[in-house]
């Protein structure tokens, strides 16, 4: 049994894994777990990941979850070019620094905007109040400013002169709100130029292929999701919203 990756390209972490594996010619079998059909909540998938989340990896009898852990496993196992996860102590520390920061900042705030703009109307049947959307967008703007000033600065890439796992993870995360129709690059030339460099480094065609689904996500309708899954997401999302 070869390497298997359980993915849905609607998920930011799954897209990062897919792009990384493909751009480094890592052989794997793509196991599509459709989130919109609730396939991550089946007993079959629970045998792969008891947490019922994507992505997941199976390499023979070995299984692994959490996207950052999987990225590092692939980089080490397949000895990918050094720039992805540098052997230089300080460059690697810069990659680790971003990967540690991003969960509740770029990813957290970008996902919240995506969910608010795309999923909340599906779950409630009501348009999102403009002031609510503005408040969520402003929180994302705060972390975008931090990203530019703290992590990117005046460098071509986060760890210096070459693309790394940090850049790939960051850009894939930023494409989530873009999929919701929020063009966060339009008024940020530094960010837009960095995006171009990252896309060029991983391959523009591959990047576009991986993001095709999320860039068309606004065509999603409630009847495309099983009723029980829609109810589950409604409960989870409204619970999350009440805590913020």
Report whether pLDDT(99) > 60.
Answer: yes
Task: Check residue 125 and give its pLDDT.
Answer: 79
Same domain membership, residue 154 and residue 40 = no
Q: What is the spatial distance between Cα 171 and Cα 194, in angstroms, rounded to a whole number?
A: 9
Read off the tokens for 227: 């009723």
Same domain membership, residue 44 and residue 154 = no
Q: What is the spatial distance between Cα 8 and Cα 42, in angstroms, rounded to a whole number?
A: 15
Report whether pLDDT(147) > 60.
Answer: yes
Number of domains in the chain: 2
pTM of the full structure: 0.92
Q: Assess if residue 83 is contained within a domain.
A: no
- CATH number of the domain bearing residue 164: 1.20.1050.10
Q: Assess if residue 15 is contained within a domain.
A: yes
- CATH number of the domain bearing residue 36: 3.40.30.10
**What digits encode the pLDDT tens for the residues 125-138?**
788 899 999 999 99
Q: What is the spatial distance between Cα 15 and Cα 168, in angstroms, rounded to a whole number?
A: 10
Q: Assess if residue 206 is contained within a domain.
A: yes
**What digits encode the pLDDT tens for the residues 13-49?**
999 999 999 999 999 999 999 988 888 889 999 999 8
Same domain membership, residue 209 and residue 93 = yes
Domain span at 15: 3-77
Model confidence at 228, in pLDDT bands (50, 70, 90)?
low
């Amino acid at each position: 049994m070869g390497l298997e990756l359980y993915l849905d390209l609607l998920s930011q972490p799954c897209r990062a894994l897919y792009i990384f594996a493909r751009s480094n010619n890592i052989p794997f079998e793509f196991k599509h777990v459709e989130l919109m059909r609730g396939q991550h909540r089946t007993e079959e998938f629970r045998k792969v990941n008891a947490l019922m989340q994507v992505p997941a990896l199976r390499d023979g009898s070995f299984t692994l979850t959490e996207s950052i852990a999987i990225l590092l496993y692939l980089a080490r196992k397949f000895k990918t070019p050094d720039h992805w996860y540098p052997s230089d102590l300080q460059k690697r520390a810069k990659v680790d620094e971003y990967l540690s920061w991003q969960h509740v900042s770029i990813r957290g705030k970008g996902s919240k905007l995506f969910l608010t703009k795309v999923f909340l109307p599906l779950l409630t049947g009501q348009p999102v109040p403009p002031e609510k959307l503005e408040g969520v967008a402003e929180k994302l703007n705060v972390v975008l400013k931090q990203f530019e000033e703290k992590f990117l600065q005046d460098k071509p890439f986060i760890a210096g002169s070459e693309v790394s796992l940090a850049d790939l993870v960051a850009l894939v995360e930023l494409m989530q709100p873009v999929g919701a129709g929020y063009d966060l690059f339009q008024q940020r030339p530094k960010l837009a130029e960095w995006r171009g460099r990252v896309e060029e480094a991983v391959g523009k065609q591959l990047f576009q292929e991986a993001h095709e689904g999320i860039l068309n996500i606004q065509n999603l309708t409630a009847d495309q999701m099983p009723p029980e899954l829609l109810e589950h997401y409604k409960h989870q999302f409204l619970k999350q919203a009440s805590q913020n």
